Structure 1
Amino acid sequence: MFKRTTVQLMFKLIITSVMISMCISCNNTSNNKTASEGKPTVFSDQNVYTDPSSGTTWVPLESVVQSLGLRMHDSENSVQFGYTDPMYEVYPGQLQALALGSSTTLQEAPTRRNGKSYMTLRSLSHLLQTSVYWNQPEHRIEISSLQDAGTPPSNQIQMKSLRATSTTVDTDKLISYAKKYLGVPYEFGAQPYAQSKTFDCSSFTQHVFSKFNRDLPRLARSQGNEGMEVSRNNLNPGDLIFFTVEGRFKSDAIPGHVGIYIGDGKFIHTWGEPGVQISNLDTGYWSDVILFMRSIL
């Protein structure tokens, strides 16, 4: 009896250790690979609570975002989260939300509890367009892989609307203007530069192109619908390069980062430290996560 009890205790300790390791792994924002392997994201959280009157389960948004390997900016009036720019935005007390650049209506409004933002399982599933499940017996949250955003629109149709309003842009001036911001700090969900003096990846490209009368959408995902897709061999200075977000989405087909090609195998973008920077396109990390490239000039 003593030996069997000891073995059972050791087995429980091993299982507990594995679950803790899974939780730590899921909260590592730089190396979460669960989605790309087709497996659900799973993490334990002691802050989930169920409303006794309605039976509705509320989950802390911060824990969900961390487990998916995304960034988050929580202000008094809104919560933004995404990879290098805000892919999702919700507003405590309001049903309206933004998901991948489109407006959507939640079933239940997000709320704040002990200073943190919470969402119901149903609203979170709707926002992310995937299953979010509370496994009560094991006290853990299970999130299916996020859906991708599909493919960019037809080149032929998109270029018709662009050419109708297109004027010549001096790409040398555009690139010189972009380089003026080298070293400007990166900030996830950055407000307009005049106000914040910071950029995230898509606010940087939006700011640069607006100087040359090119109005780009706010998000990298939406900017990926502009212009005409080009190959690496046909890539010209001033073209936009879009990168995948490895491991965050079901097929890694959603643009999660964007930069501007400046020639000589290099592009300018903003990404963490040191903010706006120039990186190699054909070697190193970025060469392995190129999704597609588009010309909008």
Structure 2
Amino acid sequence: MKRLFHTLFITLLSMVILLTGCNMGADKEGQGKNNQGAQDQGDQSTVRVRNMDTGEKNQIIETRQQDAVIPILNHNGKEYISLRKLTEVLEFRLDVNEETHMIRIGDNDIAYEIPTNSTNAFKEGDLVNMASPPVSIEGETYIPRDAVETIFGEAMNYTWTARELRIEPIKDMTAEEADQLPDFQDDPNDPNKDNMDTTFLSTEASTGVENLALKNVNSTKLIKTAKKYIGVKYDFGAGPYPKTNRFDCSTYTQYVYSKYNVNLPRLSRNQAKKGIAVSRTNLRKGDLMFFYLPGRYKSNKIVGHVGMYIGNGKMIHASTKPKNGVQITSINKTFWKKTYLRSRRVAS
């Protein structure tokens, strides 16, 4: 009997050792597969792109080695790119005007207009001819490859491969670097500093930009007019204020200045080419201030927002943040110092 129990004990012990060895081998094999999977995905990641309307990062774009990757669609022998995916990567707003059949794209105002049914697109108000019209496939709009380069080329650093468009991340200054920049300041040489009538013109050069014949405008009255519209709601691509009771950033500055017979272009990028350049430390009431809107893959050299300086380090502008609509913002803060591009004086 003892010999029988001994035999059974040895048999059971052998089975336990065998099973344990198998499980350990399985664990090691599984661990190896997981490590291999991690290694295989080492050059891939995802980036969540902020929805410009909600502020939530809810759209995922595939990236490889930090480049955003958008696949090329071959359709009837031509190459196309998804317009939705492209604007999500560049963090542009996108809106469709059903009346004009135009897809409107930009930061805080319209920079690009792409038709849904023709080859005539617009970049910063200028006509751009695409080689072929956009196509709609399963409800999504695709634009031809040449249009990607012609219309959006300046807004990104990109390369093409045989199967995809790759967009590189933008190198931007850090918050610490931005904080080292000078504050926005009133012009210390203004002989009428208290009244700020903008009778003094900066001598800073404005090479390579279009000048506007400066008209004499009382800056105190100008700012008083600008403040009348505080609280008017922001609307991307807003039409004329008398019809819509809405502004975007550039229609607001355009409308206020129109009250004093100063005619500004519709778009902020074009307004940035008018008038005389002034530095951030020599600002007067009424000076226009231009900023870029930061994005991981979008150029930090292109104008995306405009506001009007009102003195004492403050700006009045039409925006969605922190409130929705025309508002006054203190601009000696990291965000504004970092995203500032230039200022222009459009009235004397």
Could you say which TM-score interval applies, normalised by the shorter chain?
0.7 to 0.9
Q: Confirm whether residue 103 of structure 1 aligns to residue 127 of structure 2.
A: yes
* Deviation of the 1:95 alpha carbon: 1.2
**Structure 1 residues 268, 96: closer, same or farther in 2, change over 3 A?**
same
Question: Counterpart of 1:117 in 2: which secondary structure?
Answer: strand
**Counterpart of 2:32 in structure 1: which amino acid?**
V
**Structure 1 residues 145, 196: closer, same or farther in 2, change over 3 A?**
farther
Question: Counterpart of 2:213 in 1: which secondary structure?
Answer: helix
2:279 aligns with 231
Equivalent residue pairs, number: 273
**Structure 1 residues 114, 157: closer, same or farther in 2, change over 3 A?**
closer
Alignment of 1:125-144 (within 5 A): 125-129=149-153, 131=158, 133=160, 136=163, 141-143=165-167
Alignment of 1:68-83 (within 5 A): 68-76=90-98, 77-83=101-107
**Counterpart of 1:12 in structure 2: which amino acid?**
G
2:16 aligns with none
* Deviation of the 1:266 alpha carbon: 0.7
* Deviation of the 1:128 alpha carbon: 1.2
Match of 2:343 among 289, 293, 297: 293
Question: Counterpart of 2:281 in 1: which secondary structure?
Answer: helix
2:146 aligns with 122
The percent identity for this pair of structures is: 30
**Counterpart of 1:237 in structure 2: which amino acid?**
K
Unaligned stretches of 5+ residues in structure 2:
1-24, 58-64, 171-203
- Give 1 or 2 for the bigger CA radius of gyration: 2
Give TM-score scaled by structure 2 length.
Answer: 0.68
Larger mean Cα displacement after TM superposition, 102-111 or 121-130: 121-130
**RMSD of aligned alpha carbons:** 3.3
**Structure 1 residues 183, 43: closer, same or farther in 2, change over 3 A?**
farther
1:11 aligns with 36
* Deviation of the 1:277 alpha carbon: 0.7
Deviations 1:116-161 (A, max 9, x none): 322122322221126464664xxx6423579xxxxxx963797975
Match of 1:93 among 106, 111, 117: 117
Q: Distance in 2 between matches of 1:157 and 1:18?
A: 42
1:35 aligns with none
Question: Counterpart of 2:46 in 1: which secondary structure?
Answer: helix
2:329 aligns with 279
**Counterpart of 2:277 in structure 1: which amino acid?**
E
Larger mean Cα displacement after TM superposition, 207-216 or 104-113: 104-113
Deviations 1:172-221 (A, max 9, x none): 22111111111111111111212222111111111111111111111111
Give yes or no for contact 1:121–1:132 (8 Å, CA) kept in 2. no
Unaligned stretches of 5+ residues in structure 1:
33-38, 147-152
Q: Distance in 2 between matches of 1:44 and 1:5?
A: 33
Give yes or no for contact 1:60–1:119 (8 Å, CA) kept in 2. yes
Give TM-score scaled by structure 1 length.
Answer: 0.78
Q: Distance in 2 between matches of 1:267 and 1:187?
A: 19
Q: Distance in 1 between matches of 2:121 and 2:134?
A: 10
**Structure 1 residues 132, 124: closer, same or farther in 2, change over 3 A?**
farther
Give yes or no for contact 1:259–1:268 (8 Å, CA) kept in 2. yes
Q: Distance in 2 between matches of 1:290 and 1:31?
A: 24
